[in-house]
Copies of this chain bind each other. A is one copy, B any other.
Amino acid sequence: MRLPDTPVAFLGPEGTFTALAASAAAPDRSRLPLTTIPDVVDVVRSGEVQIGVVPIENSIEGAVNLTLDTLAFGDPGVYIRSEITVPITMNLLARPGVELDTLKEVRSHVMAIPQCREWLNTNLPDIHLRTTASTARAAEEAAESDGTIAALGTTMAAERFGLDVLVPDIHDFDGNTTRFVSLGRRMTGPTGADKTSMVIFLGEDRPGLLMQVLDEFASRGINLVKIESRPTKQKLGEYCMFIDAHGHITEARMAEALRSVHRHVDEVKILGSYARADGVEDAKELADSEDAYAGAGLWFRQLLDRIE
């Protein structure tokens, strides 16, 4: 018997890029906006919802650090199950009928304003700028204003707060995307194009340990797409490392690399082993293939037979 679908919890409010990602991750579910990232993680861990969506590498709606910290330092039992990438598109939103030259102020999230800086300098050089808690909050404030305040935000927010898209796509760079993850209580199996996220607690600073850990992956041809070392914030002088590696924990080389790291450090915590958003399969040298591992195992067992 299948459980009834719960809503998808996400870092609110509605109208943000995170809401877009939640909608993409679970299009058929209702959405449950929550105030903080830890709140989203909590309702997934407790089983109240089956899926949660939070930003993980997003300079607009929230920082990677809080999501990673919550997964890394919080109670176990929540895993990343997929990643969702959303293109950054910024629009100038205002109340219907408003013209550019009557605007007195533009509001948005502190990270969204620099994304549109070039356009703003050229088209609204003397406008007053003000930061808000989110792009959606900026849209809300624009809607509540007398029409002289515009917002930088998503088309979703425009719709939600009854605003017009005064100028679309005013962000300076194309090709920017932000990354979100969906969370659940079990890890997903291998798809052939996977990524494994983990946090490694190095314990007391021992010279060379950082390099040794990285080398366990490098020497097996495992591509590290993200490396971030920083203090654990739990004890002075203790470091941990957040790593995203291409490959799934069920692959022979990843399994051996993780066991090797485990032998050297205080703790290895797997945050998830899940399909890559880009679906690209990793190229593997022959020496790193499942066949090579199987062949080496066979050779070695025959060697042991030569002992008297």
Taking beta carbons and an 8 Å cutoff, which residues of A are in contact with B?
11, 35-38, 57, 59, 62-66, 69-70, 79, 109-111, 113-114, 117, 129-134, 137, 173, 175-176, 186-189, 205, 207-208, 210-212, 214-216, 218-219, 221, 223-230, 233, 236, 241, 249-250, 255-256, 258-260, 262-264, 268, 270, 273, 287-288, 292-293, 295-297, 299-300, 303-304, 306-308
Contact = CB atoms under 8 A, between A and B. Distances in A.
13 contacts: A36-B113, A130-B133, A186-B306, A186-B307, A188-B308, A210-B218, A211-B215, A219-B260, A226-B229, A250-B307, A259-B296, A263-B288, A270-B303
A115 B300 CA distance: 33
Nearest to A216: B219
Would you call the interface of chain A mostly helix, strand, loop, or mixed?
A: mixed
Contacts of A133: 109-110, 130-133, 137
A59 B70 contact: no
Contacts of A256: 256
B303 A249 contact: yes
Contacts of A134: 110, 131
Contact of A221 (B137, B207, B216): B207
